[in-house]
Structure 1
């Protein structure tokens, strides 16, 4: 009786009836997988300590995998139909006019569908791999996103070749052989990806930049922390909280400044100068010497220097009637010595790294005294507070040495001059 009922339909009618029934079965299978199976997996994941199952669920690997139930059920069912019910095979087109014409195309379409789902599952799995990798603190400075993106591009490219080969009913390897002649065009199409891959490999192998590094790329207006290093771009969060995105190749070809060395060293450099009025520079006379000896930091220094200078002048039989003769202490040199002693006693100034207080060449703005030292504090806010504290003190003590800070005249200066 079952055979009589089948004979009442043409092969084409049987085909579409089968497809309709298989769609219903496929949707049921997909529902069972997506609701029941994935529900059980999620419940089990909550009870385990492994982060892999959590990230696989978060990346929707199982959700995407569940969607393959629909095309698989239809594909298996149609294969059975073509072999046992319809008079034609599932691969070759029918020779008779009564055969179902759409049969090979349905099978090929289902193959393309399954290939597309498979590559989406792989894409989600790779996202989970990146998430698991980044959860390890030691791996955050060695990003693998660029390499994962290369794998994704290769996977999608291979899936596209598979889809074309399924639709054309050709071997994918034969199709790849035919594409060899178009390699030049492919190289042009994927030029940016290839250059980005090379740049990413160089950045990683030579450890040029890591996630979390503070970098400066003036040509792109980037000055801040690296958030992400991918195949094509590097994402930088600037200090004003804006985001700058620049090509990965720009870091290799254009150059950049990486402040990681400062972060990993024992301190952060302070390089700042203050200009003094040259007309305020003078020899230290007896009155000034007596006043300066009251300063604790340079008391021993002044006693030692006065003995040294006095002994030298006595040995050279210097005429003491003029300060110009022989060796003399100056207020500028004494002030420079005071800065050195002050910084040596400052708790936030490193004594192990470069420590230099020097006089720069005089210019139209006076005599610059430069501090070239390192702060033990590397955090920005605290670092700036230390600089401010040091220079607040230095500016305040300058008049004690008979010196004046150089600054351009202001409106108040001109008003005072006119009033006189």
Structure 2
């Protein structure tokens, strides 16, 4: 008997399943991000945007959440021109998408201890391809133009006679949204494999998981602990004060931006920036007061400058110390027996440095806007409210004017500081866990 030749139908179902898995990852992430962003924008008052602009603002928020840039443009014929732009990641939205996408991605690989490198690369490549298409479609939807009312009927008629029909529009930049969005996905998936014990690795990388995963998981829990503390504090603030809707907008859009910066400040890191005008972004009063330096000078956001505005900022130092010590203990507890204490210290120091690098990059904010009239800039006003509607502001299109907000971490100081804290916390945590039985990252071959 002659053996039957293999059928051509054996390959396509497997390939189709791979693409369906990739589509499931992307759709789940986008759905979760859209739900959180929509609730946050509604709480921020963006549902009152004229001209049915809410879906476009939602798409723009998703683009910002993965690292994209939104540009504003428009004007009033030859008379005025709007020049604006914003780069800021609403990290509540991004964090939600990252957690959901990694959960779906890893669930597709469950019941495996080891995976072939080619299979993992294929899954990542297919997910990235679908993600790029989704980002490209997102940039198409993230654009809208609003007509700015001039005032009463007489002013409207005069404006029409002079050719003044003010319009303000925005659009997501395709290159930055697709490029940085793809980088965001790769970082998220890499972090998932570095943190989760459920993620199967190629056989060649299995020995390295004992050195990476306990410390990486501990630092992830530190970041999530700050988010949980921020949620509790925000809910208490919403219950006590008469600003529940504004507080919920911050929680649903930009909570990690604030609490992760608080983590870095508690470690002694500094952020630099300035605030001019009424940008409308969710900035706490104490932080806004620090950033409003006189004469437009660059301000320094540190533990000391924040404490000058609110003495409760000093609590950020012991909070960071306690959570870092807990991370050191957890790193040692989850590591295999026999690992020397200095190795725990080095591993947590490296993990803390990488964590602070990501926090510094993700908490960067740059928002500049202005309205020039016949080439002459005009002062502060409410154009920032339209910018703010994308990240938690209110009263969009309340007026026109100019201003800026910038905030960026001093990474060359923050990263070494975090590494130093990790070294000390890893050492002390290793000593605390020395007498306890530890299950280890990997129980056996």
**Do the structures match in fold with TM over 0.5?**
no
TM-score by length of 1: 0.26
TM-score (norm. length: structure 2)? 0.25
